[in-house]
Structure 1
Amino acid sequence: MTTVRVRLTLIYSGLFLLTSVVLLVTVNLLLREALRARIAGLTLTPVAPTAPTRGAPDDGPMPQLPGLVDDVIDYQWGVTALMIGILAVVSVVVGWLVAGRILRPVHQITATARRLSVSNLHERIALSGPKDELKELADTFDAMLDRLERAVKGQRRFIANASHELRTPLAVQRAAIEIGLPEDVGEIRDKLLFHNHRTENLIDALLVLAQAENGLDNRQPVALDEVVRLVLAEGGSDEVTVTTRIEPFVVDGDPVLLSRLVTNLVDNAVRYNHPGGTVGITLSQGILTVRNTGPDVPRERCGDLFEPFRRLHTTREQGTGLGLSIVASIAKAHGADVRANPNPGGGLELVVVFAGSRDARGVGSRPSGTA
């Protein structure tokens, strides 16, 4: 792919060489015609005879002048060819340097755009220099970042306020159900508590999803192997057998979000399984794999698993439909890649490949938008 700098260099060098060649060729042609005209004038002008000098030849220098002109012109053309070669090299070098100098503000804008994320929207290009088109482009980009930063801050304030405003009435509602309803309406009481708990989980999942899609504010080294062990110690099911093979691995990220990622993967593997099934969890060389038995999953439907509120199967304990969507968003925020592959005989294999891992696996299916 030809870069803008290469194209500018070729344009500068081409124009400079074209001008130089036209100038040198024109000068050589005019010089040749001028010399020949002067020599012709000298040979046609009568000259008074003079006594020959002792020891000098009788024929004068006039017959040798046309040959001398040809020698001078040939020499001039040789020098011209050499100068054109030297100018070609010099023009390419100078054109490359000038193009780089002109494009330096563009590189600064590009570097800033690549470095920006939700966590460092406060950075600006702040391009210095004359008020030209590049300065106007950089200032426009900075103004866009100002608007984007204000929008992200407003969204974060909304998430924080919504988290408080939505959880508080649900907690009050749950307390009223547990305390206010008598024991003789136990079936109704249990159903109300079930839906209250499900609504709390849905709101919590939506807030986590919004937080993950907003990116990470602060990163810190997190021992992913310890996170996996802690999640397995706190959860689990007696209906399935869980096997593990965990190696140490450290991720720069958010420990709370990483814990939620592992929790959702394990919960999904346990929920969408059958009694007596198995769940295999492997963490090796930065690749987290959760494999389970269960119902068949069509390969062409694997990508739908990462879409919000998409379910391929129903279970006795219906989820919110956001578990794997949250996994994909958290993985993307950590620069990881999520893959889903159906297992032969039923079940699913979910793979999270973190940055810096040695991935020797196939591509598989992945959610759109993941890193």
Structure 2
Amino acid sequence: MRLQLTLSYAGFLVLAGAVLLTLVWLFLRVPTFRAIGGFAPSHPMLLREFLPAAGVVLTFLLVVGLVGGWLLAGRMLAPLARITAATRRAAGGSLSHRIALEGRQDELRELADAFDAMLAQVEEQVAEQRRFAANASHELRTPLAVSQALLEVARDDPGQDTGELLDRLRAVNGRAIDLTEALLLLSRADQRSFARERVDLSLLAEQAAETLLPLAEQRGITLETSGDVAPTVGSPALLLQLTTNLVHNAIVHNLPHGGSVEVRTTARPGWTTLTVESTGDLLEPGVVATLTEPFQRGTGRVRADDAGVGLGLAIVASIARAHGGGLVLSPRAAGGLRVAVRLPSAPGATAA
């Protein structure tokens, strides 16, 4: 490319010089030529001297065009060399390198900045995937290790109660199945491989609340739903899973007795919002910011049967992103958590 640009510069310069010299030569051949100041050398002599001088001028322009074009092209293409080097380093696995191109804001600077932004995003995603893989491996290894320990104890103690062993194995196996299904659901949401149709979030909120009402009553928690008709477009199954996860999370991570969960939907021009607000312990903003990461729990590594597998809010965030929306978590001043899912409204929907 540098050679092509050099030849282009030199060719253009020589062509412009040739055109200019041709015009001068045609002017000298006009019979009505008169010299300024009364001196008029003969036309044949001018033409004989003009042609060699024109050759020297064109040769000089060619040399200047080649040398200057080579230097200018090298200077212009230097940012591309840095971008290429950064691309090769990224292909080799070095995602932390940045081009950080200086200079004025031109097309190459925009390309370099866009490449740096892409590298930062890829680095963050790779780091997140590695953390997720490590956490998933740990979570999957735990029930397998527990099952192996139970079987080894049963082998060493033939007189152990078989019914108790089977119940514990069933519980451990159920947790492993739940975790695997959650991982598959998370992968499906990330891939966005689902059909879309019109969905009313208010109906999904009522359905999730009705399903989880026995769990709320068992824990002495008041569960209420309210709000507007909130139409959006997406997968009914995934959006129901999103709503159910939020309500279940609000019930499980609540006060031991006398807590409450409020589920409401709102419709605004262009957006619909599902908000789940629950009572609970006081939460630090730093802790709340990590709750959407896989296998993170605000109250530590909970092992109760109904505490979930640590993917509830991670699945919610992934489903919201897959539907073009987002998830906002904020601690309540009196304790507990407020979770708001904002999704695009269905076409033609009007705000209540």
Question: TM-score normalised to the size of structure 1?
Answer: 0.48
Query: What's the CA shift for 1:196?
Result: 3.1
Query: What's the CA shift for 1:253?
Result: 1.0
Structure 1 residue 225 and structure 2 residue 230: aligned? no
Cα 1:339–1:32 shift into 2, 3 Å: farther
1:323 is aligned to: 312
Structure 1 residue 281 and structure 2 residue 263: aligned? yes
Query: What's the CA shift for 1:199?
Result: 2.3
Q: RMSD of the alignment, in Å? A: 3.7
Query: What's the CA shift for 1:32?
Result: 9.6
Which runs of structure 2 are paired with 1:241-252 in the superposition (5 Å)? 241-252=222-233
Cα 1:258–1:28 shift into 2, 3 Å: same
Q: Deviation string for 1:109-153 (max 9, x for gaps)?
A: xxxxxxxxxxxxxxxxxxxxxxxxxxxxxxxxxxxxxxxxxxxxx
Which runs of structure 2 are paired with 1:193-342 in the superposition (5 Å)? 193-236=170-213, 237-238=216-217, 239-274=220-255, 275-285=257-267, 286-314=272-300, 316-317=304-305, 318-342=307-331
Cα 1:350–1:42 shift into 2, 3 Å: closer
Moved over 3 A (4+): 19-36, 41-44, 184-193, 314-317
Cα 1:309–1:23 shift into 2, 3 Å: same
Q: Give the count of matched residue pairs.
A: 206
Distance 1:331 1:281 in 2: 17
Q: Is the Cα–Cα contact under 8 Å of residues 231 and 345 in structure 2 kept in the other structure?
A: no
Query: What's the CA shift for 1:24?
Result: 7.2
SS in 1 for 2:274: strand
Q: Deviation string for 1:297-330 (max 9, x for gaps)?
A: 2101222111111112155543210111111111
Percent identity reads 33
1:81 is aligned to: none
2:132 is aligned to: none
Q: What residue identity is the alignment partner of 1:295?
A: D
Q: Is the Cα–Cα contact under 8 Å of residues 279 and 337 in structure 2 kept in the other structure?
A: yes
Query: What's the CA shift for 1:291?
Result: 0.8
Q: Deviation string for 1:153-182 (max 9, x for gaps)?
A: xxxxxxxxxxxxxxxxx9xxxxxxxxxxxx
Q: Deviation string for 1:171-218 (max 9, x for gaps)?
A: xxxxxxxxxxxxx86655543333233222212211111111111332
Distance 1:330 1:43 in 2: 89
1:175 is aligned to: none
SS in 1 for 2:261: strand
Distance 1:266 1:207 in 2: 21
Which runs of structure 2 are paired with 1:124-143 in the superposition (5 Å)? none
SS in 1 for 2:308: coil
Gaps in structure 1 of 5+ consecutive residues: 1-11, 45-169, 171-183, 358-371
Which runs of structure 2 are paired with 1:63-82 in the superposition (5 Å)? none
Which runs of structure 2 are paired with 1:94-133 in the superposition (5 Å)? none
Cα 1:23–1:343 shift into 2, 3 Å: farther
2:168 is aligned to: 191
Query: What's the CA shift for 1:332?
Result: 1.2
Distance 1:242 1:22 in 2: 88
Gaps in structure 2 of 5+ consecutive residues: 1-7, 43-146, 148-160, 347-352
Q: What residue identity is the alignment partner of 2:276?
A: V
1:99 is aligned to: none
Q: What residue identity is the alignment partner of 1:334?
A: H
Q: What residue identity is the alignment partner of 2:333?
A: P
Distance 2:327 2:297 in 1: 18
Cα 1:23–1:330 shift into 2, 3 Å: same
Distance 2:17 2:281 in 1: 77
Structure 1 residue 348 and structure 2 residue 337: aligned? yes
SS in 2 for 1:309: coil
Question: TM-score normalised to the size of structure 2?
Answer: 0.50
Distance 2:278 2:198 in 1: 29
Distance 2:264 2:18 in 1: 72
Distance 2:29 2:329 in 1: 81
Distance 2:190 2:197 in 1: 18
Which runs of structure 2 are paired with 1:22-37 in the superposition (5 Å)? 35-37=33-35
